[in-house]
């Protein structure tokens, strides 16, 4: 896969991959505020506010090598039993190792395993391993996530704590700056049943390289 170095950040040159988001130091305007889509939120990770993707479609929690060096330069990196991961575009990325980072929900602390990759479309994400292990509840009606609150010494696991009722709830919100536009296919496309293809589309309202979420029109689903 062709790659080129831009300001010490590796990015994929494949046209079907989204551009790598710029890694910059930034404080959240409001704690745990979503700055993009509603599945992003700000979380305190190793005493630094980071925009984190909550991704139930990812089997493991991941972090980019670049961000890990910023958050915890002396992090202990262990060998992972997972050697590679498949990205959203089908590309295969090698796993560089794994490490444990501290996440804070207010005063509530959680120790979470992160697998390290050279680059990620979202520089840090919490996957299904985090959601399942810590009994996280997702409320899509209120757009919140709730985590059972346990003593710090038990923060690495919630096994045997199912009866605890105290929780920490983190809200997200709809960003007022979100733009909506109609996407049109570049050419006439016919999709065969039980198949998957990549379709070039044109979205005139957005600049080239912008990451967007596409949803089909209702009549196509019905």
- DSSP-derived secondary structure for 24-55: -----SSTT--SSSTTEEEEEETTEEEEEEE-
Highest mean pLDDT out of 40-54, 68-82, 159-173: 68-82
136 touches 149 (CB < 8 A): no
CA separation for the pair 37, 30 (Å, rounded): 15
* pLDDT at residue 61 tops 90: yes
89: domain CATH number is 2.40.70.10
Q: What is the DSSP letter of 97?
A: E
CA separation for the pair 25, 20 (Å, rounded): 15
Residue at 3 is within a domain: no
37 touches 210 (CB < 8 A): no
Phi, psi (5° rounding) for residue 81?
-80, -10
The pTM for the full model equals 0.55
Residue at 68 is within a domain: yes
Domain carrying residue 41 = 23-171
CA separation for the pair 80, 96 (Å, rounded): 8
Residue at 6 is within a domain: no
Counting the structural domains of the chain, the total is 1
> DSSP alpha helices (H): ranges in the chain?
65-71, 128-133, 218-221
Residue at 36 is within a domain: yes
Residue at 180 is within a domain: no
Residue at 101 is within a domain: yes
Per-residue confidence at 209, pLDDT binned at 50, 70, 90? Answer: low
Rounded average pLDDT over 36-61 = 82
Q: Is 180 exposed, middle or buried (0-12, 13-18, 19+ CB in 10 A)?
A: exposed
129: left (phi over 0), alpha (psi -120 to 50) or beta: alpha
The residues with which 11 forms a beta bridge, in sequence order, are 4
CA separation for the pair 201, 221 (Å, rounded): 18
| Amino acid 72: pLDDT | 92
Residue at 16 is within a domain: no
| Amino acid 170: pLDDT | 53
Residue at 157 is within a domain: yes
């Amino acid at each position: 896969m062709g790659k080129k170095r831009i300001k010490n950040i590796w990015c994929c040159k494949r046209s079907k991959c989204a551009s790598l988001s710029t890694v910059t130091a930034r404080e959240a305007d409001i704690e745990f505020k979503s700055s993009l889509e509603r599945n992003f939120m700000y979380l305190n990770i190793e005493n630094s506010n980071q925009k984190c993707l909550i991704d139930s479609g990812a089997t493991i929690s991941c972090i980019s090598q670049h961000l890990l060096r910023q958050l915890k330069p002396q992090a202990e990196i262990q060998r992972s039993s997972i050697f590679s991961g498949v990205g959203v575009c089908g590309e295969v990325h090698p796993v560089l190792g794994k490490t444990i980072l501290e996440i804070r929900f207010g005063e509530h602390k959680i120790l979470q395993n992160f697998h390290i990759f050279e680059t990620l479309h979202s520089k840090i994400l919490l996957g299904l391993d985090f959601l399942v292990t810590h009994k996280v509840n997702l409320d899509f009606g209120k757009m919140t996530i709730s985590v059972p609150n346990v003593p710090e010494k038990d923060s690495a696991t919630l096994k045997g704590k199912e009866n605890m009722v105290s929780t920490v709830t983190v809200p997200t919100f709809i960003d007022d700056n979100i733009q909506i536009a109609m996407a049109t296919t570049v050419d006439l496309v016919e999709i065969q049943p039980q198949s998957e293809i990549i379709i070039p589309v044109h979205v005139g309202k957005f600049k080239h390289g912008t990451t967007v979420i596409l949803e089909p029109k209702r009549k196509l689903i019905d």
